[in-house]
Structure 1
Amino acid sequence: MADPEKNFASHDSQDEDTIGTIQGVLPDPDAHLSQEEKDKIDRKLVWKLDWILIPWLCILYLLAFLDRTNIGNAKVAHLTDDLQLSLPHEYNATLTIFFVSYSVFEPLTNVLLKRLRPSIFIPIIMILWGASMTGMGFVHNYSGLLAARWFLGLTEAGLFPGVNYYLSCWYKRSEFGVRAAIFFSAAAVSGSFGGLLAAAIEQMNGVGGRPGWSWIFILEGLLTVIFGVASFWMVHDFPDQARFLSEDDRARVVRRLKTDQQSSAEHEEWKISYLIAGLKDWKMWLGMAIYMGCDMPLYAFSLFLPSIIQELGWGTSTVRAQLLSVPPYAAAAVLTVAIGFIADRTRQRGLCNIFVSLVGVVGFLMLLASTDPRVKYAGTFLGALGIYPCISNTISWMANNIEGVYKRGVVLGFVIGWGNLNGIVSSNIYFNPPRYLEGHGVLVAYMTVFLFGGSLLMTVLLRVENRRRREGKRDYRVEGKSAAEIEALGDNRPDFIYTI
């Protein structure tokens, strides 16, 4: 095709016409510089974004994951005995109710994040969930704990999908995965940190007439509130409004996303058509299946690891059980970042999911089949290694392959919300200690069918679609359309090559 607007190039190697069209539309503050000088400025800009955006967001998610899973630490610190909860039914119900409110409200939160701005939305929900967490330290019965967990889920719902969506509006597709992995590694770190912190706070048992588990909730909740207030100054808005960037740097961020076939840095008004576009996209539905295959095991592992370790038969004390839960999380944090880096470099996110999920399946088979405490403890390591890297890799995979500000937000909200709804399953499969055969068996099934099988299917389908686009079999979609209409097609554009 002779028209430059229809002369498409792949994401991996854009042609001069495509970049020239972008340069004609957006201002280029570096037009007078050599390519070497432009590359130097670009590296400096990305480095600046990393240091300003990523560390604080990691801290926020560490606090979020700590607050939603510390009930597992409180359980081994005699929460169930003091509140006279029946096991497993009433305790599991307190876990379940969190995921109900959390998942129901998640699909709505990315729209609110965009409309209210990150610097307002994120601090507000942090203060609210910190208050809910603190309130859990003052409950006296089963109904009070249920109410506190409901509101904790409601107020936490916006952070994880919101931050992943937010980061995807700042970085290129080849840069997003490792940042998402670093962000999510805070969940694994919170497992390590949570065990150590719970072991220390539990020593406050009796202070102020309150049990040790109560102080776990109170102190960790107050810590969240403090960071929530600070977030009014530490969380920044989207690239076109970010105050920490100069006008030239804002233009550079928008331009570099445009060259990456993204429009996510730009302002866009909400329309119901974005919701419809997401619902009609097969990638969203398959992504929901893949994500449930790693998210359900994630919560089961996080909520019950202290109990699993306590039942290993080593005569494990409460404090020792908290401390022995630290190493598996630490190993998972390292592998999560490593997989993020590898997937960004190779652009083989599907293969990363496939191979890592097999590691997790082996780990839970060890827990399922063995009665040797050493084998079972080794299985917890492989289980963690097989779960945590797939969470951030799957979210990065979905974000890479959905174009459009609101459509991406909608799709991520549904994928993450559905995955978290499966936390209801996580909360109700671990009973009959010490072997927990039902729980480990369900985890193996989820990881094999949904995570492994779904990732394999997604990889094959995306490869087929990419081949068709490179062969020109999707060029009919842009015939007779203007440049603006072509851009509005988002990831349906013939030149948009999917990350596999």
Structure 2
Amino acid sequence: MAQVDEKPAIHSSSRGMVDTEKATTVHGSPEESQLDFLDDPDEGLSEEERAKIVRWFLGLAEAGLFPGVGYFLSCWYKRSEFGVRMAIFFSAAALAGSFGGLLAAAIALMDGIGGKAGWSWIFILEGLLTIVIGVLSVWMVYDFPDQAKFLSEADRKRVLRRLAADKQASAGYEKFEMTYFWSSLKDWKTYLNAIIYMGYTAIQAQLLSVPPYAAAAIVTVAIGFIADRTGQRGICNIAVSLLGIAGFSLLLGANSAGARYAGVFLGAMGIYPAISNTISWASNNAEGVYKRGVTLGIVIGWGNLNGVVSSNIYRGGDAPQYYPGHGAVLAYLVLFLFGGSLVQYVLLRRENAKRRRGDRDHWIAGLERQEIEKLGDKRPDFIYTL
């Protein structure tokens, strides 16, 4: 399905902005469904064409989850608390992907029940669970702390004070303006983070094995904790990227099965922590709830376009060594993950030094307080997370 893998990526970019607005629910009956043409044999669609259309709509529904969860967490927690929570979410998703096959295999044993195939029951049961949780989230999940009905008035004020001390825009009301959208598009950090993210989205599909997944989940949470405590997300990214480079070097050059399997472990432990850490890094340095939402959508959406690459670089004819595939992945790791992280770390460190020296104070000369707050991470007193 390489031809349609880009759809979730495209949807992610737009969803990042949509997630920051109030949702509008559109109701319709099954009879009014505009997807009826998929079941109409007279439409002349082949099975492959129907599968691509369905996959497109699956991507539409799925695309907003990862940037949406990242955005949601960033509105509730301080910058120094966000990383480990994003790491827990992502590692849980990784483990779910690892053990999801076991669940699917168990559900597939229902083949024939109700006249439906086993694969149909997988979609039905897992889909129903998702729908139930989604409905419950309407009463359980609130976009911002000041809207949370499950908190007392005193607790809401305490949460908002913590966010305000961290210079978080979610501590107060921020009205959407197109300025925030364009601010994200004009910010060099948005594109550099997208480049970094490209360094490992092409790799995930090659690490689908339970033990490496489990090891990667543990390291992911550990890196999230360390990055939060030290405030050095760039250094953490650089360190784990070296693990990934070592792992894929083994996959490319080693002959023994043991060494190559060790390479899979190192690759997984180098790649997965960097995913949640990069999202945390991008979120930490994009201030303003709307700008942050757009930024996360662009970073994740653009990076996910590499799903098109990853589905084509590992070809059956290259088995069992897969030299072209491993070589391409190694190049991605060196150029984008390691190189991009190093460049961004140096640039942010240089910018922080200028702000501490007062070289950016002229940006707020003559501005009122509200105008200064609208600057977001362009405020001279906003220090970037390294």
Taking structure 1 as the reference length, what is the TM-score of the superposition?
0.69
Distance 1:470 1:483 in 2: 20
TM-superposed deviation, 1:373:
2.5
Structure 1 segment 210-249 matched on structure 2, within 5 A: 212-249=118-155
Which residue matches 1:179?
Answer: 85
| Contact 2:184/2:291 (<8 A) preserved | yes
Note if 1:409 corresponds to 2:293.
Answer: yes
Change (3 A) 1:430 1:216: farther
| Contact 1:370/1:376 (<8 A) preserved | yes
Note if 1:157 corresponds to 2:63.
Answer: yes
Distance 1:212 1:365 in 2: 40
Bigger relative contact order (CA 8 A; separation at least 6): 2
Note if 1:384 corresponds to 2:268.
Answer: yes
Give the alignment partner of residue 395 of structure 1, picking from 256, 276, 279.
279
Give the alignment partner of residue 321 of structure 2, picking from 432, 435, 442.
435
Structure 1 segment 255-270 matched on structure 2, within 5 A: 255-270=161-176
Note if 1:471 corresponds to 2:377.
Answer: no
Structure 1 segment 5-20 matched on structure 2, within 5 A: none
Note if 1:292 corresponds to 2:198.
Answer: yes
Note if 1:358 corresponds to 2:242.
Answer: yes
TM-superposed deviation, 1:403:
0.8
Which consecutive unaligned segments of at least 5 residues does structure 1 have?
Answer: 1-93, 125-131, 306-324
Aligned AA for 1:268?
A: E
SS at 1:114 equivalent: coil
TM-superposed deviation, 1:156:
0.8
Aligned residue pairs total 368
User: Deviation per CA, 1:271-312, whole angstroms, max 9, x where unpaired?
Assistant: 1111111111111111111111122222x335xx3xxxxxxx
Which residue matches 1:192?
Answer: 98
Note if 1:419 corresponds to 2:303.
Answer: yes
TM-superposed deviation, 1:230:
2.7
SS at 2:383 equivalent: coil
Give the alignment partner of residue 18 of structure 2, picking from 98, 107, 112.
112
Change (3 A) 1:193 1:280: same
Which consecutive unaligned segments of at least 5 residues does structure 2 have?
Answer: 28-34, 39-45
Taking structure 2 as the reference length, what is the TM-score of the superposition?
0.89
Which residue matches 2:256?
Answer: 372
SS at 2:146 equivalent: coil
Distance 1:184 1:456 in 2: 23
| Contact 1:349/1:499 (<8 A) preserved | yes
TM-superposed deviation, 1:95:
4.2
Aligned AA for 1:337?
A: V
| Contact 2:17/2:297 (<8 A) preserved | no
| Contact 2:16/2:298 (<8 A) preserved | no
Distance 2:283 2:92 in 1: 19
Runs of 4+ in 1 over 4 A off after TM superposition: 202-215
Distance 1:232 1:469 in 2: 42
Two-structure CA RMSD over aligned residues (Å)? 2.3
The percentage of aligned residue pairs carrying the same residue is 61
Distance 1:161 1:485 in 2: 28
TM-superposed deviation, 1:378:
2.1
When structure 1 is superposed on structure 2, of 218-227 and 422-431 the one drifting more is: 218-227
SS at 1:144 equivalent: helix
Change (3 A) 1:377 1:144: farther
